[in-house]
């Protein structure tokens, strides 16, 4: 169980604000009672501060109406105020977060210098480089569950792209939403992708576009040199970098294509 400090701080701040709401309604109630008694016991016969008696009566009535509306709103907010049990339930709900499972489609190849390249695409929403991926359910690990959606994404048939799970390489990670401050747990499994020879031509290009996605071959160092990619997807790139020899220099793990990247 874990929870991000800033998310915890935000939950406590919300609780404190709602706790204040529970007593705030006393203030407009006091003002409303005072103005009501003023209207009842005063005859407003004398002029004061340049205003006539009728103008003072009108101001008192407007003030009473405003105080009454404010009191009703404050009471409504107090009724829905969060109690301590709700706060603890919120903290527990944030702490016990089931991981989201993803299959990372790992396309690797070599350039003319013999340097390992990784196929990434630029995501417009995240504004960073991501590896192609497929959302999986818990316990789902059939390679075809990764290869078939990936093949569709690249405009290939399911027989033209194969996947093999990379054993021993599962990454558990945590990412914090910049919008909500909520921490989400992720579990990434990596799949080595293999394109059949006659369909490898488009993958030989250094950069290409398919279905409105701009793909690019990069080294891990080049991907991590991109500031937002390092910030938002650095956990995945660091895992690949830390296991570079086992993934990129093991002859038993094939490249996505046999050809050299242009």
pLDDT of 152 higher than 70: yes
CATH number of 97-248: 3.90.79.10
- Indicate the burial class of 119 (C-beta count within 10 angstroms; 0-12, 13-18, 19 or more): buried
179 alpha carbon, distance to own chain's centre: 7
User: What radius of gyration, in Å, describes the C-alpha atoms of the chain?
Assistant: 31
User: For residue range 69-91, what is the model confidence (pLDDT) as tens digits?
Assistant: 877 777 776 666 556 666 666 66
If you average pLDDT over residues 235-260, what whole number do you get? 90
Distance CA 240, CA 49 (A): 78
CA distances from residue 52 to 45, 60, 169 in whole angstroms, order as listed:
8, 13, 83
29-38, 188-197, 249-258, range with the lowest pLDDT: 29-38
pLDDT of 61 higher than 70: yes
Residue 92's pLDDT is: 62
Nearest one of 163, 211, 185 to 96, comparing CA atoms? 185
Confidence of residue 63 (pLDDT cuts 50, 70, 90): confident
62 alpha carbon, distance to own chain's centre: 47
pLDDT of 180 higher than 90: no
Residue 99's pLDDT is: 81
Confidence of residue 138 (pLDDT cuts 50, 70, 90): confident
Residue 72's pLDDT is: 76
Residue 174's pLDDT is: 80
Confidence of residue 195 (pLDDT cuts 50, 70, 90): very high
pTM: 0.64
């Amino acid at each position: 169980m874990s929870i991000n400090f800033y998310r915890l701080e935000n939950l406590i701040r919300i609780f404190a604000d709602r706790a204040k709401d529970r007593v705030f309604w006393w203030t407009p109630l006091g003002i409303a009672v005072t103005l009501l008694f003023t209207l009842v016991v005063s005859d407003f016969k004398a002029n004061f501060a340049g205003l006539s008696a009728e103008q003072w009566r009108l101001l008192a009535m407007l003030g009473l109406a405003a105080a009454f509306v404010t009191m009703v709103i404050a009471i409504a907010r107090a009724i829905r105020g969060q109690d301590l049990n709700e706060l603890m339930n919120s903290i527990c709900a944030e702490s016990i977060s089931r991981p989201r499972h993803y299959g990372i489609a790992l396309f690797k190849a070599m350039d003319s210098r013999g340097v390992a390249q990784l196929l990434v695409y630029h995501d417009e929403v995240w504004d960073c480089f991501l590896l192609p991926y497929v959302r999986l359910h818990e316990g789902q690990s059939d390679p075809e569950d990764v290869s078939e959606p990936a093949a569709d994404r690249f405009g290939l048939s399911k027989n033209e792209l194969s996947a093999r799970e990379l054993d021993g390489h599962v990454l558990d990670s945590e990412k914090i939403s910049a919008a909500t401050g909520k921490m989400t747990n992720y579990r990434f499994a990596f799949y080595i992708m293999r394109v059949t020879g006659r369909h490898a031509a488009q993958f030989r290009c250094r950069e290409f576009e398919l279905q409105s996605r701009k793909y690019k071959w990069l080294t891990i160092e080049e991907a991590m040199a991109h500031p937002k990619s390092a910030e938002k997807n650095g956990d995945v790139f660091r895992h690949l970098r830390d296991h570079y020899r086992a993934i990129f220099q093991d002859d038993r793990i094939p490249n996505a294509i046999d050809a050299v990247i242009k």
